[in-house]
Copies of this chain bind each other. A is one copy, B any other.
Amino acid sequence: MSDRHPTRRTRVRRLAQRGHYDRDTLYAILDEGLVAHVGFAIDGQPYVIPMAYARAGDTLILHGSVASRLVRTLAGGLDVSVAVTLLDGIVLARSLFDHSMNYRSVVLFGRAHRVATHDEKRAALEALTEHLIPGRSRDARGPSPQELAATDVLVLPIDEGSAKIRSGPPGDSKPEDPAIWAGVIPLATVPGPPIPDPDVPEGMEPPGYVRQYRRPTP
């Protein structure tokens, strides 16, 4: 990645102190998130679709079963923009104007290609499942030839991108502002008690990676 040399389209032009370009920062955000919003344009018409994803080294795997037609279009070589956003809190300022959110976001640019071989698809399904829930791919059944044929997976090289982060208290507090409570309501993605599938035998306990599930994963 051109970490220290942001390109024209990735440079964060406003609030530049929130811009980050190093892989460690980007990858921590990508590894914590669960949904990517993938944007592309066909004849000038923009589309944004939510997709499952996983980072595998310096690539992003995008799982397209939710939008097979669009995946085929993307795989034809269109430019994409991929955003992953983690919401960390609601920022309550004293002024309406300064209300905000704490967040960490990544935006990537590039051209995704469609994974072709069954070996690559199998590796991608494993990476996607491990991204959702580490440890699971050891237990789950691997894909059948029919399932691999039905799997549309895209791979995007992580070559161009940037992160933006807002954290901390509100930025206001002026003499004329009212003396009201201000601060941050932290937000987190929190798991509830696991719900067994109706076909799970009575008395079968969920494995540790389910009972102790949390984001970010350990």
Which residues does A use to contact B, with CB under 8 Å? Answer: 9, 13-15, 34-35, 37-41, 44-50, 52, 65-69, 78-83, 85, 87, 89-90, 92-97, 99-101, 103, 105, 107, 109, 125-126, 128-129, 132-133, 136-137, 139-144, 147, 150-151, 164, 169-170, 173, 176-201, 204-207, 210, 213, 215
Q: Are B50 and A103 in contact (CB under 8 A)?
A: yes
Known: A37-B83, A96-B140, A177-B141. A185 touches B210 (CB 8 A): yes
Residue of B nearest to A196 (CB): B183
Given contacts A46-B79, A183-B200, contact A52 B101 (CB under 8 A): yes
Determine if B193 and A50 form an interchain contact, defined as CB atoms under 8 angstroms apart.
no
Contacts of A126 in B (CB 8 A): 96
Which B residue sits closest to A133, measured CB to CB?
Answer: B90
Q: Is the CB of A99 within 8 A of B136?
A: yes
Closest B residue to A191 by beta carbon equals B185
Let me know if A176 and B141 touch, CB within 8 A: yes
- Which residue of chain B lies nearest to A142 when distances are taken between CB atoms in the complex? B96
Tell me the bound Cα distance from A13 to B67 in angstroms. Answer: 8
Q: How far is the CA of A190 from the CA of B69 in the complex (A)?
A: 35
Q: Are A181 and B204 in contact (CB under 8 A)?
A: yes
**Inter-chain contact A85/B180, CB cutoff 8 Å:** no
A215 proximity list for chain B (CB < 8 A): 187
Contact B188 A190 (CB under 8 A): yes
Residue of B nearest to A188 (CB): B190
